[in-house]
Copies of this chain bind each other. A is one copy, B any other.
Amino acid sequence: MTTPIVQDRDRARESLRTMWRIRRFEEAVEDLYGRGLMHGTMHLSIGQEAVPTAACQALNRDDYITSTHRGHGHCIAKGADLERMMAELLAKETGYCRGRGGSMHIADTETGNLGANGIVAGGVPIAAGAALSAKLRGTGQVALAFHGDGAMGEGAWHEGVVLAAMWQLPVVFLCENNLYGMSMSSERAFNLPQLSDRAKGYGIPGVTVDGNDLQAVYDVTAEAVERARNGGGPTFIEAKTYRWRGHSKSDKNLYRTREEIDEWRLKDPIVRFELETVEAGTLSEADLEAVRDEVRTELRGAVQRANAAPDARPDDLLASVYAEVGA
């Protein structure tokens, strides 16, 4: 067993930095949105930061992920650039998708992120396909599909898992069970004590983990990734967590209670990990402060530069639909 992250100064700091980058990025988005400076819709993952942060640490840079409508965290954790992300959300030509995709379609092929997806469960078969590709090309790469609990009601989820299981593809299905698919509680929807009970039906290993426990998420993901890389096939992971904000901007939170939300705010994965590092004597309060400052500065710069970038250009829309033949 390697040193726990909480006792490893560099990794602990890196983990905190990633979690704060996600949190601050989304707070900035929320703010810009609230002030009418951002367009479209948004799905915030505030409260869920430990899952992508830990999971992506278990992946190599050239491993693949597919992400969801609630994808900022996945994208950041896999290594994307905050400025280009922010530029995308601000509909700028310098954004990851040249302002054509927005929050729901950010991808960063450099870091193996095959894209957020506006379609619930849409990324699940795509991740399995990336895993098939890696297997056929013999590269040893692994694919990880982030998806929500709600996604498990979709045929796309089922078919992606069926094919991955049959071919024992190097893929990890990581369900962020934040207890709701929009307003539908996963408890009510799926009739199961834990969603990982589903895995047995596909003949693949399944495990449930506290999604707000960074180390625990890392451990199960690392094990699953290793299994995948060694030809052991897919794994299903359920990471239980919670989104503090509404599903999207239109959510009035009628389907859950104030108390429930408050209870989960007390389980803040960032605060929890900060406390753990301090208790372990790995980082000092000053170290924590330094990380936070660093991220705040980084983010301020990213927003400023993104804002200053040129707006997305409409001139070549028709020419952008198809890749050029021979390309």
Contact = CB atoms under 8 A, between A and B. Distances in A.
Interface residues of A, number: 24
Given A162-B153, A191-B165, A201 B200 contact: yes
A191 B163 CA distance: 10
Interface string A199-213: 111111000000000
Contacts of A159: 153-155, 158
Interface in A203-248: 203-204
Contacts of A199: 201
A151 to B, nearest CB: 12
Number of copies: 2
Contacts of A157: 158
Contacts of A166: 188-191
Contacts of A153: 159, 162
A87 to B, nearest CB: 36
A154 B309 CA distance: 46
A197 interface: yes
Contacts of A152: 162
A188 B155 CA distance: 20
A198 interface: yes
Interface in A108-161: 152-159
Contacts of A280: none
A202 B189 CA distance: 10
A152 B158 CA distance: 9
Given A153-B159, A158-B158, A192 B188 contact: no
Q: Which of A153, A159, A162 has the most CB of B within 10 A?
A: A162
A188 to B, nearest CB: 7
Contacts of A158: 155, 157-159
A128 to B, nearest CB: 13
B201 A197 contact: yes
Contacts of A197: 200-201, 203
A242 to B, nearest CB: 22
A68 B319 CA distance: 46
Given A155-B158, A162-B153, A191 B202 contact: yes
Interface string A34-56: 00000000000000000000000
Interface in A155-187: 155-159, 162, 165-166
Given A155-B158, A158-B158, A190-B162, A201 B203 contact: no
A91 to B, nearest CB: 34
Nearest to A193: B203
Interface in A225-278: none
8 contacts: A154-B155, A162-B189, A165-B191, A166-B190, A191-B203, A191-B204, A197-B201, A201-B202
Given A158-B159, A191-B203, A201-B201, 16 more contacts: A152-B162, A153-B162, A154-B159, A155-B155, A155-B159, A157-B158, A158-B158, A162-B189, A165-B191, A166-B189, A166-B190, A166-B191, A190-B202, A191-B204, A192-B201, A200-B200
The 5 A-B pairs at the shortest CB distance, nearest first, are namely A155-B155, A191-B203, A201-B201, A158-B158, A198-B201
